[in-house]
Structure 1
Amino acid sequence: MADTVSAARTVTLQFDDNALLPLLYGEHDRHLAQIEQRIGVRLASRGNRLTITGSAEASGIAEAALRALWKRLERGEPTGIAEVEAALRLSESAARVADGPEPRLPLSDLPAIRTRKGAIAPRSAAQTGYMDLLGKHEMVFGVGPAGTGKTYLAVAQGVALLMAGRVDRIVLSRPAVEAGERLGFLPGDMKEKVDPYLRPLYDALHDMMPAEQVARRITSGEIEIAPLAFMRGRTLAHCFAILDEAQNTTPAQIKMFLTRMGEGTRMVITGDPSQVDLPPGQKSGLVEALSVLDGVPGIGVTRFAEQDVVRHPLVGRIVAAYNRADEQATAVRQDRAARRGGDPLARQEGN
């Protein structure tokens, strides 16, 4: 692929494989329309040439995204709406930190986790750093809002290591605490009680491996999915262990899990400190662990933000809206507290 720059705000890309162009443009040019609407550029195609018109920044983002998508197609990887959104998100991140240390690699050469169902590539700058930590550290914390890929990528890394023979098994665990519900009031035996809490882990596994292989490996013990309480008293050796929804652990529970780590084991702890379902007044073990373990060698931490939500664009906007509401509520409480503290009458009314 070659390109020429004809003006400060116009870039013309030329593609050398006409057979791939329909895949790049999308059905009825929907990928091009997505890029135009997302970043405010105008795209015009003629033959194997595509012209990008817009501001210098927007044109640069569109160019980087299109180059990355073209590389995917040349490698035979699928390209759809989600991949276009991911390429734009990564290009925007690269533009924001053009003078900094990120991105560490060109967008077309970002790391991937390879499973038998295909390669899984990062869809945000935070995911790029997270995948880098998963490959280098024995213990990694992934912290941030829902939809950022924390658990999904951790499961993918575990599956990749299991298939490569670098670990003997995968252990997936969650605390059985959700929105105040109690296991004793749910119908069925223990497995039927806890399975709904562990369903997201099953879903992620089925995205990485054929269903019959998942079932076979669970039966053989190569994959274990269990509530956190089942980890007590054990030593987890030569395995890839994931603790999901860790914000719902108590300090004692998360310490218990972290100290299960044995020889040849890697651990990933994921959670969202803003979504704690513990009883009022109970401190989150994840929050305490992040504070206590800050700076400990060998532990990596990736913090995701609302702009890293990859589940659906609307999810990111929902997270942002709730964050704004929380900030406004906090500001109101602080303002009321300040007024009560400075006004004797207000102090009397508050008592």
Structure 2
Amino acid sequence: MANTPRKTYVLDTSVLLSDPRAMIRFDEHDVVLPIVVITELEAKRHHPELGYFARQALRLLDELRISQGRLDHPLPVGNQGGTLTVELNHSGQEALPIGFRLGDNDSRILAVAKTLSNAGRTVTVVSKDLPMRIKASAMGLDAQEYRAELAVDSGWTGMAELDIGSEAMNTLYVEGRLVHEAASELPCHTGLVLHSGRGGALGRIGPDGAIRLVRGDRDAFGLHGRSAEQRVALDLLLDPDVGIISLGGRAGTGKSALAMCAGLEAVIERRHHRRMIIFRPLYAVGGQELGYLPGSEAEKMGPWAQAVFDTLGAVVSSEVVEEVLDRGMLEVLPLTHIRGRSLHDAFVIVDEAQSLERNVLLTVLSRIGQNSRVVLTHDVAQRDNLRVGRHDGVAAVIEVLKGNPLFAHVTLTRSERSPIAALVTDLLEGIEG
């Protein structure tokens, strides 16, 4: 530890909004918070999605102020010799190249980092914001994404293949379940493609560790699964004991259609829930806040919610859609409307979950009340939020919940869209990779 060069980490607001305790997690190094970060946290205190995390960060700073005194001098944090400073100075634009002297908050944070670097300190700008890291690097500063919350990418798809032999296959078909040593180490609700000398089957791991047979003829509101992954996903969606279901996969694999038909089945046919609520993040508008779009609130929400109705229209009749809307059995809402709500007796779908930061997603899950279930649909290749990387957000939540009996995840791979759409999706994923 003594041989590690001491570094100075300049944190921006996005880091503290993703992890309010990030300021004390840098071991023996120095952490600097430009004063404008405090201003931005204050402005976010009442934000419907990020307000809780802004308040947590501010409370921690206040606790340090009470216990340590002034924050504008390095104060010790942790037990490894690290310090924290709220930097009041060095936010002038003189240290920045002319093209970066924009007078905005990012420029003020970069000015602090550049001034400290010019003074001989080994400085790294830490941010969850991709453009911020690019700008820091462009002016010669070291820049890193905040990584303490990132998931280790295990490549887990929620599916596995096993060869179980003909006798075991017969037992599975006759009894509907099978205890098999090869499945003992797999997470709960892992979907299985099973092989034997006499044929194959689909299954999934139950909470007791046994393999349960997944029948291919199950349907949700008339929708049948075509691929192995879709059939396993459908089996999970129709199991009321699985409270959180994650459906990943590229565009056109049927994530939203499966989730919505399962919701209609649960609400209309089985009456397990009173209504289906579909939340979509506002990033789906393409970065524009609804307040800046023309028209009334209903006119602003129309194009934004149309993707949901397009999907529903492809799998059910327009009469069904009109009926569930008229009877109040279907709501399509922006995620900001979840603030202060407890969602009871509902089948909840969070669409486009890849654009949600980890803490925001966990806040959403915490709103799920009695007799409710939630489905997360996501495609990490289509992130609209530049603060979310491939391995945080929903990916981190999947890794944390994997193996819990209340949680299941399946990555869908077979595209149900046209060959042209599939080709373009492949090209986009190649660029992303």
User: TM-score category by the smaller chain?
Assistant: 0.5 to 0.7
Residue type of the partner of 2:371? G
In the other structure, the counterpart of 1:195 is 302
Distance of aligned partners of 1:317 and 1:191 in 2 relative to their CA distance in 1, 3 Å threshold: same
Distance of aligned partners of 1:113 and 1:219 in 2 relative to their CA distance in 1, 3 Å threshold: same
SS state at 1:103 partner: strand
Residue type of the partner of 1:258? L
Distance of aligned partners of 1:311 and 1:235 in 2 relative to their CA distance in 1, 3 Å threshold: same
SS state at 1:234 partner: coil
Residue type of the partner of 2:378? G
What is the CA deviation profile of residues 295-325 of structure 1, one whole-angstrom value per residue up to 9, with x for unaligned ones? Answer: 22210000123xx111123333333333344
Equivalent residue for 1:168, pick from 274, 280, 285: 274
CA distance in 2, matches of 1:270, 1:129: 15
Equivalent residue for 2:262, pick from 157, 177, 201: 157
After the TM superposition, which segments of 4 or more aligned residues of structure 1 sit over 6 Å from their partners?
none
In the other structure, the counterpart of 1:127 is 230
Are the aligned partners of 1:149 and 1:310 in contact in 2 as well (CA < 8 Å)?
yes
CA distance in 1, matches of 2:319, 2:361: 32
CA distance in 2, matches of 1:127, 1:253: 28
The offset of 1:253, in angstroms, is 2.3
SS state at 2:304 partner: helix
**Mapping of residues 112-261 of structure 1, within 5 Å:** 112-115=218-221, 119-136=222-239, 137-164=242-269, 165-178=271-284, 179-261=286-368
CA distance in 2, matches of 1:317, 1:258: 34
**Mapping of residues 1-150 of structure 1, within 5 Å:** 98-99=195-196, 103-104=201-202, 110-115=216-221, 119-136=222-239, 137-150=242-255
CA distance in 1, matches of 2:360, 2:427: 32
State the Cα RMSD in Å: 2.8
What is the CA deviation profile of residues 52-72 of structure 1, one whole-angstrom value per residue up to 9, with x for unaligned ones? Answer: xxxxxxxxxxxxxxxxxxxxx
Equivalent residue for 2:398, pick from 272, 279, 290: 290
CA distance in 2, matches of 1:103, 1:195: 43
Residue type of the partner of 1:167? H
SS state at 2:331 partner: strand
CA distance in 2, matches of 1:123, 1:145: 16
Are the aligned partners of 1:143 and 1:272 in contact in 2 as well (CA < 8 Å)?
yes
SS state at 1:104 partner: strand
The offset of 1:102, in angstroms, is 5.7
Are the aligned partners of 2:357 and 2:388 in contact in 1 as well (CA < 8 Å)?
no
What is the CA deviation profile of residues 3-28 of structure 1, one whole-angstrom value per residue up to 9, with x for unaligned ones? Answer: xxxxxxxxxxxxxxxxxxxxxxxxxx
Equivalent residue for 1:268, pick from 375, 380, 383: 375
Structure 1: any 5+ residue segments left out of the alignment? 1-93, 328-351
CA distance in 1, matches of 2:300, 2:309: 15
CA distance in 2, matches of 1:315, 1:139: 29
In the other structure, the counterpart of 1:319 is 425
Give percent identity, aligned residues only: 28
Are the aligned partners of 1:126 and 1:304 in contact in 2 as well (CA < 8 Å)?
yes
CA distance in 1, matches of 2:363, 2:326: 26
TM-score (norm 2): 0.48
SS state at 1:197 partner: helix
Residue type of the partner of 2:253? T
In the other structure, the counterpart of 2:59 is none
CA distance in 2, matches of 1:113, 1:227: 29
Are the aligned partners of 2:381 and 2:429 in contact in 1 as well (CA < 8 Å)?
no
Residue type of the partner of 1:140? I
Distance of aligned partners of 1:208 and 1:324 in 2 relative to their CA distance in 1, 3 Å threshold: closer
CA distance in 2, matches of 1:254, 1:135: 23
Are the aligned partners of 1:113 and 1:160 in contact in 2 as well (CA < 8 Å)?
no
Residue type of the partner of 1:104? L
What is the CA deviation profile of residues 115-166 of structure 1, one whole-angstrom value per residue up to 9, with x for unaligned ones? Answer: 3xxx211121211111111122221000110000001010001111112212
Residue type of the partner of 2:322? A
Distance of aligned partners of 1:229 and 1:246 in 2 relative to their CA distance in 1, 3 Å threshold: same
SS state at 2:425 partner: helix
Larger relative helix fraction: 1
What is the CA deviation profile of residues 75-128 of structure 1, one whole-angstrom value per residue up to 9, with x for unaligned ones? Answer: xxxxxxxxxxxxxxxxxxx9x9644996328xxx6133243xxx2111212111
CA distance in 2, matches of 1:207, 1:140: 22
